[in-house]
C-alpha cells in the first residue's frame, strides 16, 4: 500500500480564494483587513515565516505591516508596540512571531494583545473559548490540520488519534479541537510527549497520527499501523551540502518509510505549512468582519 499525499498547497489555495472573496466584500463596506507582524531578532526561519505571511496578505488584498526589531529589544518596548497596534484601527490582526529573545516574557506579551486581534489564537481568552467549543479565532496550525482532514474526507469521529507533542501552539490545541463534541472532531485523543514511555506502542494504536515534535524522522514506519493517516507538522532544517541553501526541510516523520504503509500522509514542505498561513489569513478577515459588524 502506498499513501495518498495530502496536498496542503492545493487546500490552502482553495481556502485563500474564499478568503479573498471575503476581503472584497469587506472592502465594499469600507473596511480593509489589516495584519501586523512583529519580528524581534534575526532568526532566519522566523524571518521566512513573516515574509510568507506578508506575501499572502498582498495576494489577498489584506493590508500588512511588518515591524522589525533587534534581538536586544526590551520587553517594555515590545509591550508598547503591541499596545499601539491594539489601538490602531487599520490593524485587525496582530501576531508576534516566536521564538522571542530570552529577555522577553512571551506569555506577558500574549496577554497584552487585544483578544479580538489575536489572530494566532494564543490569548487565554481565545484558548478558553476553544476548549469550551466556542472558539472564534482558532489557532492556525491546529485549525489548518482539521481543514486538511475535512477536505480529504478523513473524519476523526470515533477514531484513535495520537498527537505527539504538547506545545501550546500545536499539540495541546489540536488535541483539544479533536476531542470536542462536534463535526470533524469526536475523536479519542492521546497526547504523547518526551516523557511518554513506549512511544512506538502508543503511536501504533493510532488511526490518525499527528506529529508536532521538532525532531527529524521521529515517527518511523515501524511505529505506525498499516493504513494510518499521518499528519506531519514538523519543520526541521537538516544540513545538505548539495543544496544551494546548505539545508533542506524535513518533517518529524520518516516520509519515505511511512508513505509505503499509511493511507494518507502530508509532505514537508507542502503539507501543514501552507494551511497555517491560509488559516492566519482567514482569522485576520474574521477579526475584520467582527470589527465591521460592531462598527455598523
Ligand atoms: P515544541 O518544541 O514547543 O514542542 C515539541 C513537543 O514535542 C514537546 O511537547 C516535547 O515534549 C515533544 N517531544 C520532543 N521530543 C520528543 C520525543 N523524542 N518523543 C516524543 N515527544 C517529544 O514545538 P512546537 O509544537 O512549537 O513545534 C513542533 C514542530 O512543528 C517544529 O518542528 C515546528 O517548527 C513545527 N511547526 C510547524 C508549523 C507549521 O505551520 N507547519 C507551525 C508550528 C510549528 P515535552 O513537552 O516533554 O518537552
Query: Which residue's CA is minimally distant from atom 25 of ligand 1?
Result: 167
Asked if residue 236 has its Cβ within 6 Å of ligand 1, the reply is: yes
Asked if residue 234 has its Cβ within 6 Å of ligand 1, the reply is: yes
pLDDT tops 80 at residue 78: yes
Instruction: Give the pLDDT score at 1.
Output: 81
pLDDT, tens digit (0-9, with 9 covering 90-100), for 208-232: 999 999 999 999 999 999 999 999 9
Residues of the chain with CATH 3.40.50.10860: 31-115
pLDDT, tens digit (0-9, with 9 covering 90-100), for 234-288: 999 999 999 999 999 999 999 999 999 999 999 999 999 999 999 999 999 999 9
Architecture of domain 140-273: 3-Layer(aba) Sandwich (3.40)
Instruction: Give the pLDDT score at 295.
Output: 85
pLDDT, tens digit (0-9, with 9 covering 90-100), for 158-179: 999 999 999 999 999 999 999 9
Instruction: Give the pLDDT score at 83.
Output: 98
CB 9 within 8 Å of CB 15: no
User: Whole-angstrom Cα distance, residue 142 to residue 146?
Assistant: 7
User: Per residue in 130-151, is it b (16+ CB within 10 Å) or e — as a string?
Assistant: beeeebebbbbbbbbbbbbbeb
User: Whole-angstrom Cα distance, residue 176 to residue 196?
Assistant: 19
Global pTM reads 0.98
Asked if residue 193 has its Cβ within 6 Å of ligand 1, the reply is: yes
Interval between CA 168 and ligand 1 midpoint (Å): 10
How many other β-carbons are positioned within 10 Å of the β-carbon of residue 288? 27
Q: What average pLDDT does the segment 54-71 reach?
A: 98
Share of the chain above pLDDT 90, in %: 99
Interval between CA 33 and ligand 1 midpoint (Å): 31
Instruction: Give the pLDDT score at 116.
Output: 98
Asked if residue 169 has its Cβ within 6 Å of ligand 1, the reply is: yes
Instruction: Give the pLDDT score at 75.
Output: 97
Query: Which residue's CA is minimally distant from atom 41 of ligand 1?
Result: 273
CB 254 within 8 Å of CB 219: yes
Candidates 183, 184, 227; CA nearest to 205 is 227
Q: Distances in Å between the alpha carbon of 194 and those of 167, 191, 218, 254?
A: 11, 11, 11, 18
User: Whole-angstrom Cα distance, residue 48 to residue 168?
Assistant: 22
CB 196 within 8 Å of CB 202: yes
pLDDT tops 80 at residue 9: yes
Q: Band the pLDDT of 20: cuts 50, 70, 90.
A: very high
User: Whole-angstrom Cα distance, residue 222 to residue 225?
Assistant: 8
User: Whole-angstrom Cα distance, residue 112 to residue 198?
Assistant: 40
pLDDT tops 90 at residue 196: yes
CB 188 within 8 Å of CB 194: no
Residues of the chain with CATH 3.40.50.720: 140-273
Q: Band the pLDDT of 26: cuts 50, 70, 90.
A: very high
pLDDT, tens digit (0-9, with 9 covering 90-100), for 82-138: 999 999 999 999 999 999 999 999 999 999 999 999 999 999 999 999 999 999 999
Q: Are strands 236-239 and 208-211 parallel, antiparallel or unpaired?
A: unpaired
Question: Out of 3.30.450.40, 3.40.309.10, 3.40.50.10860, 3.30.365.10, which CATH number does the structure's domain 31-115 have?
Answer: 3.40.50.10860
Average pLDDT, the chain: 97
pLDDT tops 80 at residue 296: no
Does 120 participate in catalysis according to the annotation? yes
Instruction: Give the pLDDT score at 274.
Output: 98
Asked if residue 165 has its Cβ within 6 Å of ligand 1, the reply is: yes
Interval between CA 232 and ligand 1 midpoint (Å): 11
Q: Which of 118, 120, 207, 252 is catalytic?
A: 120
Amino acid at each position: 500500500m502506498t499513501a495518498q499525499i495530502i496536498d496542503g498547497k492545493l487546500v490552502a489555495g482553495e481556502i485563500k480564494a474564499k478568503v479573498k472573496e471575503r476581503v472584497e466584500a469587506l472592502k465594499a463596506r469600507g473596511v480593509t483587513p489589516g495584519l501586523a507582524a512583529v519580528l524581534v531578532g534575526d532568526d532566519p526561519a522566523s524571518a521566512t515565516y513573516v515574509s510568507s505571511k506578508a506575501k499572502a496578505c498582498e495576494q489577498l488584498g489584506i493590508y500588512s505591516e511588518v515591524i522589525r526589531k533587534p534581538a536586544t529589544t526590551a520587553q517594555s518596548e515590545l509591550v508598547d508596540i503591541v499596545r499601539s497596534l491594539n489601538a490602531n484601527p487599520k490593524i485587525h490582526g496582530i501576531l508576534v512571531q516566536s521564538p522571542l529573545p530570552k529577555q522577553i516574557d512571551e506569555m506577558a506579551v500574549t496577554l497584552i494583545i487585544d483578544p479580538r486581534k489575536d489572530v494566532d489564537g494564543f490569548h487565554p481568552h481565545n484558548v478558553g473559548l476553544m476548549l469550551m467549543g466556542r472558539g472564534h479565532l482558532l489557532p492556525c496550525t491546529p485549525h489548518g490540520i482539521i481543514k486538511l482532514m475535512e477536505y480529504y474526507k478523513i473524519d476523526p469521529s470515533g477514531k484513535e488519534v495520537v498527537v505527539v507533542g504538547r506545545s501550546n501552539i500545536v499539540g495541546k490545541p489540536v488535541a483539544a479541537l479533536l476531542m470536542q463534541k462536534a463535526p470533524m472532531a469526536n475523536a479519542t485523543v492521546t497526547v504523547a510527549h518526551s516523557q511518554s514511555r513506549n512511544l512506538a506502542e502508543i503511536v501504533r494504536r493510532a488511526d490518525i497520527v499527528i506529529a508536532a515534535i521538532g525532531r527529524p524522522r521521529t515517527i518511523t514506519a515501524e511505529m505506525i499501523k498499516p493504513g494510518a493517516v499521518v499528519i506531519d507538522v514538523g519543520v526541521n532544517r537538516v544540513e545538505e551540502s548539495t543544496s544551494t541553501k546548505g539545508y533542506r526541510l524535513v518533517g518529524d516523520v520518516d516520509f519515505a518509510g511511512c508513505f509505503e504503509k499509511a493511507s494518507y500522509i502530508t509532505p514537508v514542505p507542502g503539507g501543514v505549512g501552507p494551511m497555517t498561513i491560509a488559516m492566519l489569513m482567514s482569522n485576520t478577515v474574521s477579526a475584520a468582519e467582527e470589527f465591521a459588524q460592531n462598527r455598523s
